[in-house]
Amino acid sequence: MYFLGIDAGASATKWALISENRLVTSGTQEAMDGHLYRETSKVRMNEVLKEIAHQIGGKSISKVYLGITGVIHDGSIEELLQQTFNAPAIVVSDIELAYRANFSEGDGILVYAGTGSVAYAIDEKGVVHQTGGWGYLLGDEGGGYWIGREAIRHVLFEIESKTSIESGSLAGLILREIKANDWNSVKAFVYSRERSAIAALSRIVDTAAESGDKDAIDILSRAAGHLAELVNRTDKNLIKKSLPVKFTGGISSSAFLYRELERILPMRVTVSTVDIAQRAAELAR
């Protein structure tokens, strides 16, 4: 018997196929979301699922467990999975999947920082507590898009100041990455790319911070403060206090940001090392 787990976030879709007790194969495809009321999202999901089915190579799937950003619960995603893999499916949000991959109910708080940011907990009674995750227009502070946007804002302040921008400074590194040198070329980059392109600039901020750039350090320190605030707000809604915190998502790879988060929340935070797609496959069993 084979079980398929899929972790579909804003930046990529990761999947894993297991048998009863071992990993058979895994892979990464394009990002997809659950907004099937949008034709583009429906087309993308069809393409991604068909590619996964092709990679699996005709193996008979017993069950699918999917965690996806922008999940909808009208049965349409389950139906599409059934059509593609000829198997029943469980569909949850990508955040719920990440939580269940790391904790049992009531055992901790998940801080997920990818393109966006959110804190998530399921208490001992099965009640969901979500803090943040409002999207890039209203929140998502401390996530990759927020970090990338703050770096671009810093660049624009530097351009406005009309001072010479050093090539090795944060502003210089960002301008080189986006192939820009003035307001018009920065604007062209920002408004012609998807959010993931701006979120990807967080890696440059992280590298600059590790090299001691004070502006990059300031951005990541503020990001850590925002993520810690998500935990503090979640704490207020839980009966159990000071639960362990798992830090996950693409931004959790930043050693600098993790050190800052651990400094603010001492003895509580660890970086998740769980393979979420494989855990999804295990949850499908």
pLDDT digits 0-9 by tens, 171-211 = 999 999 999 999 999 999 999 988 889 999 999 999 999 99
Cβ–Cβ under 8 Å, residues 146 and 154: no
pTM greater than 0.75 (yes/no): yes
Question: Per-residue confidence at 249, pLDDT binned at 50, 70, 90?
Answer: confident
Q: In this predicted structure, what is the pLDDT of residue 20? A: 80
Rounded to whole angstroms, how far apart are CA atoms 38 and 267? 44
The pLDDT > 90 percentage for the chain reads 80
The CATH code for residues 2-98+276-283 is: 3.30.420.40
15-50 per-position pLDDT tens digit: 999 998 799 999 999 989 888 888 898 899 999 999
Decide if pLDDT at 137 tops 80. Answer: yes
Ranges for all domains in the chain classified under CATH 3.30.420.40: 2-98+276-283, 105-253
CATH number of 105-253: 3.30.420.40
N-to-C CA span, the chain: 9
Helix (H, G, I), strand (E, B) or coil at 166: coil
pLDDT confidence of 166, banded at 50, 70, 90?
confident
Q: Mean pLDDT, to the nearest integer, of 222-232?
A: 97
Q: What is the DSSP letter of 212?
A: T
Alpha carbons within 13 A on the beta-carbon side of 209: 23
Structure tokens at 254: 């930043």
Q: Look at residue 246 in the predicted model and tell me its pLDDT.
A: 96
Rounded Cα distance, 72 and 78, in Å? 10
Nearest C-alpha neighbor of 185 from the set 208, 213, 155, 205: 155
User: Is 64 a residue whose pLDDT tops 90?
Assistant: yes
The secondary structure of residue 251, as a DSSP letter, is: G
Q: How far is the CA of 100 from the CAs of 11, 94, 124, in angstroms? A: 20, 10, 13
The band of 122, judged by pLDDT with boundaries at 50, 70 and 90, is very high
CA separation for the pair 261, 113 (Å, rounded)? 12
Contact between 83 and 53 (Cβ < 8 Å):
no
